Amino acid sequence: MRQSEEDREKLGAPPAHESYLTDGTTVMSWLNTRDHKRVGVMFLVAVVFFLFLGGVFALAIRMKLLYPGPFLFDALTYNRLFTLHGVTMIFLFMIPAIPSAFGNFVLPLMIGARDVAFPRLNLASFYVYLAGAVLAVWAMVHGGADTGWTFYTPYSTTTPTMLFPLLLGVFIIGFSSIMTGINFIVTVHTLRAPGIGWMRVPLFVWGIYATSVIQVLATPVLGLTVLLVALERVLGFGIFDPARGGDPVLFQHFFWFYSHPAVYIMVLPAMGVISECVATFSRKNPFGYKAIAFSSLGIAFVGFFTWGHHLFVAGQSVFDNGVFGVLSMFVGIFTAVKVFNWVGTMYRGAISFKTPFAYICGFLFFLVFGGMTGVALATVALDVHWHDTYFVVAHFHFIMVGAVIMGFLAALHYWFPKMFGRTYHEGWGLVAASLIILGFNATFIPQFLLGNNGMPRRYYQYPEHFQALNVASTAGATLLGFGFIIIFIYLVIALRWGPRCEQNPWRSKGFEWLTPSPPPTHNFDKIPHITQDPHDYRTHAPSGVYTDV
């Protein structure tokens, strides 16, 4: 509408500069790239595909749950569907999405580097991810497992469904995660441009750094765990088999030692994105830069101490229940620090209500409610009632979808001009954001009520009196799906026909906007010397007037 016409008048013909997109247009130049930006774009395409695949599984589940009795497909298929939904969404989408797609693209730009520390390792991480993903999809096509993405023993060691390729796929994807984590940590340590000390590193980089620490420390334990299950299935090693003296709960200890920090792998990058967007769209300095930076590290560290809260009713000892219950509360402190800082940043800022800001609003609302229900679940006495009900499902979807996917969509809309040099239709952006936020609420708030009223999760059939809320939830899921489809449509249109934009359409002070949009392959003609703090929107006049870049 108006915005694009003005742009077309101002910019006229597409700019003539070379960019990473035009530097080599053959397929091989993409498949054999060392350029972190191209690797990031390839990851983006892959994770978006798996987001839609996982969404299809989710919609299938919700369709079945329209009716309390058997409908559409049988119970075994239903079990497979929720397993595949979980595995696809978590391992194939959520873990790599923001770090490997946006982190890869933006992190070197934000620290004034020409690439990540190990470019070939970066490319390898993409192929390893693809290999694991292909294996997992192959397992799905051939029937797939019915254990849930949590693979609890003893069912996972004895189920006759095809588990081995799925386990192997997850194992391989773990390597990709570790490679990315190592690459990012070394990049931040050794490739910062002159002037970028640790306290001048942008907040998204802090988020990615903390995420990478978790990826490096936690993922090997997942690798070992799936390996042990596979060995027990294939060779009968019996580590978790009570008949041999084993302990099935030990599996849960191993599994959650990774999987709880894994949720912080998913959420910390989203929080980093929100930190960037809040500063940009409030045109105001972060309320507390150090608080946000150190709380990222705090979440990464404390997140490792809390895994036992998934085992409260599994047979874990009362002593450990108490310890983990208390430790789980601490993570909430760091998250609260961040939320207060974001709100403090927006307060008295010059708010620019663009599409990324709409996602910020959704993120904040969902993070607060998801986080508070998390603290409630961490209370052992309450978890006895809520464990394995839809209350837990709603809680983690509030964080996983409500917070992380809002962060992903915010990143997508914020950095779309940077990555592709074009802008999308702002009106449709806001429409889709509204649909998603509304649809999300309609999907998952009924699930809190269902869970509190006792509906168990992963059940194929349910008592009739739960049907109304289930129908509401499915209606919301459909709305959510429409929102995603609309985003996909207008972004693809923008990729091809969107108006070209200037270098810094958001007038952001982020360091990545110092390069052209899209950037050239070598990122910077000259390595910049940064003399300003990140996200610094002050003028040097004391009146607090905010100027353009």
Partner 1 sequence: MTENGEHHSALPYFIVWVALVILTVTTYRTGRMHLGTWALPLALTIAVTKSLLVILFFMHLWEQKGANRIVIGTSFVFVALIISLTVADVATRFPLATPAGAPFGSDIPAQLEEPAPEYQPPAGKIGEPPRGVPEPK
Partner 2 sequence: MSEAAALPPGEHLVHGTDPHLAHHFSSLERQVDASRLGMWLFLSTEVLLFAGLFTGYAVYRYSFPVAFAASARTSEIWAGTLNTIVLITSSLTVALAIHFVRAGRQRAAVACLAITLFFALAFLGIKAIEYTAHFHEHQLPGRYYRFEGVRLPGAEMYWALYFLMTGLHGLHVVIGMTVLAVIAWRTAHGYYSAHYYVGIELAGLYWHLVDLIWIFLYPLLYLI
Shortest Cβ distance from residue 19 to partner 1 (Å)? 34
Shortest Cβ distance from residue 203 to partner 2 (Å)? 17
* Token pair in block for residue 188: 């931040």
Q: Is 323 one of the binding residues for partner 1 (CB under 8 A)?
A: yes
Shortest Cβ distance from residue 414 to partner 2 (Å)? 25
DSSP for 209-273 reads HHHHHHHHHHHHHHHHHHHHHHHHHHH---TT-GGGT--HHHHHHHHHHHHHHHHHHHHHHHHHH
Contacts of 357 (CB under 8 A, 6+ apart): 277, 281, 351
With b meaning 16 or more CB within 10 Å and e meaning fewer, what string describes 397-432?
Answer: bbbbbbbbbbbbbbbbbbbbbbbbbbbbbbebbebb
The residue type found at 227 is L
Whole-angstrom Cα distance, residue 331 to residue 323?
14
From the list 39-47, 64-72, 308-316, 430-438, the region that binds partner 1 by CB under 8 A is 308-316
Interacting residue with partner 1 among 22, 32, 158, 547 (CB under 8 A): 158
- Residue 544 interacts with, from partner 2, partner 1, none (CB under 5-8 Å by kind): none
Rounded to 5 degrees, φ, ψ at 71 are -160, 135
DSSP for 66-98 reads TSSS-BSB-HHHHHHHHHHHHHIIIIIIIHHII
In sequence order, what are the beta bridge partners of 456? 389
Binding positions for partner 2, rule: CB under 8 A: 113-119, 178, 181-183, 185-186, 189-200, 216-221, 223-225, 228, 231-232, 235-239, 241, 244-247, 250, 253-254, 257, 522, 525-529
Whole-angstrom Cα distance, residue 450 to residue 81?
20
Shortest Cβ distance from residue 204 to partner 1 (Å)? 21
From the list 127-135, 274-282, 315-323, 485-493, the region that binds partner 1 by CB under 8 A is 315-323
DSSP for 345-409 reads HHTTS-----HHHHHHHHHHHHHHHHHHHHHHHTSHHHHHHHTTBHHHHHHHHIIIIIIIIHHHH
Which 8-state DSSP code applies to residue 438?
Answer: H
- Residue 239 interacts with, from partner 2, partner 1, none (CB under 5-8 Å by kind): partner 2
Contact indicator for 39, 126 with CB cutoff of 8 Å? yes
Interacting residue with partner 1 among 36, 64, 253, 500 (CB under 8 A): 253
Shortest Cβ distance from residue 120 to partner 2 (Å)? 10
- Residue 319 interacts with, from partner 1, partner 2, none (CB under 5-8 Å by kind): partner 1
Interacting residue with partner 1 among 119, 231, 247, 482 (CB under 8 A): 247
Interacting residue with partner 1 among 108, 202, 246, 483 (CB under 8 A): 246
* Cα distances (Å, whole numbers) of residue 403 to 399, 412, 495: 5, 14, 26
- Residue 24 interacts with, from partner 2, partner 1, none (CB under 5-8 Å by kind): none
Shortest Cβ distance from residue 533 to partner 2 (Å)? 12
Interacting residue with partner 1 among 241, 388, 533, 536 (CB under 8 A): 241
From the list 17-25, 164-172, 200-208, 318-326, the region that binds partner 1 by CB under 8 A is 318-326
Shortest Cβ distance from residue 304 to partner 1 (Å)? 6
Total binding residues for partner 1 by CB under 8 A?
Answer: 35
Whole-angstrom Cα distance, residue 219 to residue 410?
27
Whole-angstrom Cα distance, residue 261 to residue 214?
6
Interacting residue with partner 1 among 76, 199, 376, 495 (CB under 8 A): 76
Residue listed under structure tokens 């979808």: 401
- Residue 74 interacts with, from partner 2, partner 1, none (CB under 5-8 Å by kind): partner 1
Interacting residue with partner 1 among 30, 114, 164, 320 (CB under 8 A): 320
Q: Is 315 one of the binding residues for partner 1 (CB under 8 A)?
A: yes
Helix or strand or coil: residue 422? strand
Task: Give the residues lining the site for partner 1 (CB under 8 A).
Answer: 74-76, 158-161, 189, 217, 221, 236, 238, 241-247, 249-250, 253, 257, 304-305, 308, 311, 315-320, 323-324
